[in-house]
Amino acid sequence: MTAQPAVQVKGIRKSFKDVDVLCGVDFDVEAGSIFALLGSNGAGKTTLVRILSTLLKADAGTATVHGVDVAANPGKVRESISLTGQFAAVDDVLTGRENLVLVAKLRHLKNAGAIADDLLARFSLTDAGDRKASTYSGGMRRRLDIAMSLIGNPPIIFLDEPTTGLDPQARIEVWQTMKKLADQGTTVLLTTLHLDEAEQLAHRIAILHKGTIIQNGTLAELKQVLPAARVEFVEKQSSLEDVFLALVGETGEAGTTADDPADSNVPARNEMQ
């Protein structure tokens, strides 16, 4: 962790015609942490991420990413970030390795092949590296997508609802990937509408509602908003996710997902270059 926030947002406002989408948003993200921006559909999460990633200009307020003002120096900001959207931005015609090599070459990096091989290993995709991405399962495609976004070692990564459309096994794989990124020092700003995702992953959680942050803190701090819990002895019932994982015989470990092309997400070219 460093003293300077990796991301700092102050008074950000954004409207589209007569609709106020962001109404003065403030928060800081510590370097090397996972920060979850939790909110329902239409809360303004994607709009805020687009502002922070320089794809959209705010109407008011300021934001800095890696110490750089996003409005004053967007080109410098792009050098420090990567953005992964709601659908995997992989090329189905190419193999997993070819996708990675392509991005490395587009970023004018040397040893593109070595970079690709390293990322395939890091994301447990080595055995599938020479297969076309069209044969990958949803979880594998998402892991490849995140691997592509890490080429060039950006210190900050924005993940906009990264588990959209994934089955329970694939979600767990992506969760494990995000935890590894934070453990290795990458700052992760995650937007999600899933309560359990924020609870499992985030060091801090900000709840965005109708364009405003209504609560911001650690999970323990947020739980203090509720009355003190009563101690009761009840029989714990298995969740549907527990049943599903038990029946399919998988634990969610990276690399164990069955390869079913029908489960794959429709690709969308939304990765920052």
Query: What string of pLDDT tens digits covers the 273 residues of the chain?
Result: 446 899 999 999 999 988 999 999 999 999 999 999 998 888 899 999 999 999 999 999 999 999 999 999 999 999 999 998 776 689 999 999 999 999 999 989 999 999 999 999 988 899 999 999 999 988 888 889 888 988 988 999 999 988 877 788 878 888 888 898 899 899 999 999 888 889 899 999 999 998 999 999 998 888 887 776 677 777 777 776 776 677 666 554 444 444 444 444 444 444 444
Q: Is the pTM of this model over 0.95?
A: no
Q: What pLDDT, on the 0 to 100 scale, is given for residue 163?
A: 84
92 phi and psi angles, rounded to 5 deg: -65, -25
Among left, alpha and beta (phi > 0; psi -120 to 50; other), residue 185 is left
pLDDT at residue 46 in the model: 92
Q: What is the CATH number of domain 7-224+238-263?
A: 3.40.50.300
Which one, of 127, 135, 130, 156, lies nearest residue 64 by Cα?
156
What pLDDT is stored for residue 223 in this prediction? 83
CB atoms within 10 A of CB 127: 10
The residue extents of the domains of the chain are: 7-224+238-263
Q: What share of the chain is helix, strand, coil (3-state, %, to 5)?
A: 35, 25, 45
